[in-house]
Amino acid sequence: MDQKQFEKIVDEQNPKTPLLVNMLKAFLVGGIICTIGQLITFFYMRFFSFTEKTAAGPTVATMVFIAMILTGTGLYKKISQFGGAGSAVPVTGFGNAVISASMEHRTEGYVLGVGGNMFKLAGSVIVFGVLSAFIVALIKTILVKMGVISW
Partner 1 sequence: MISSIITAFIVGGLICVIGQLLMDGFKLTPAHTLSTLVVCGAILDGFGLYEPLIDFAGAGATIPITSFGNSLTHGAMAEAEKHGFIGVLTGMFEVTSSGISSAILFGIIGAFIFQKKKTTY
Partner 2 sequence: MVNTTGTLQFMGKPSIVSTGVIVGPMEKQSPFADSFDEILPLENEPNETYEQANTRYIEKACSVAVKKGHEKLENVDVFIGGDLINQLSPTNFAARQLSIPLLGVFSACASSMESIILGCLLLESGNAKSILAGASSHHPAVERQFRYPLEYGAQKPKTAQWTVTAAGFALLQKQAKSAPIISHATIGRVVDGKQTNPLHMGAAMAPAARDTIERHLTNTNSKMADYDIIMTGDLGKIGLSILKEMFQDEDSGVILQDAGAQFYGEDSFFNAGASGAGCSAAAFFSHIYGQLKKGVFSRVLLVATGALLSPLTFQQGETIPCIAHAIECRMEKRG
Interacting residues with partner 1 between 45 and 74 (CB under 8 A)? 52, 56-61, 63-65, 67-68, 71-74
Tell me which of 6, 48, 82, 128 binds partner 1, using CB under 8 A: 128
- CA 7 – CA 41 distance, rounded (Å): 51
Query: Which residues contact residue 120 at a Cβ distance below 8 angstroms, ignoring those fewer than 6 apart?
Result: 101
Window 23-42: residues binding partner 2 (CB under 8 A): none
Partner interacting with residue 112 (select from partner 2, partner 1, none; CB below 5-8 Å by kind)? none
Site string for partner 1, 26-45 (x = CB under 8 A): xxxxxxxxxx-xxxxxx---
55 binds partner 2 (CB under 8 A): no
CA distances from 42 to 4, 61, 74, 143 (A): 58, 15, 28, 38
How many residues bind to partner 1 according to rule CB under 8 A? 81
Range 120-149, binding partner 2 (CB under 8 A): 121
**Pick from 73, 121, 113, 65: nearest CA to 97:** 121
Nearer to partner 1 by Cβ, of 1 and 64: the residue is: 64
- Which of 28, 31, 39, 72 is in the footprint of partner 2 by CB under 8 A? 72
Tell me how long the chain is: 151
- Please count the other Cβ atoms lying within 10 Å of the Cβ belonging to residue 31: 12
For residues 80 and 88, the answer to whether their CB atoms sit within 8 Å is yes
Q: Is 63 a binder of partner 2 (CB under 8 A)?
A: no
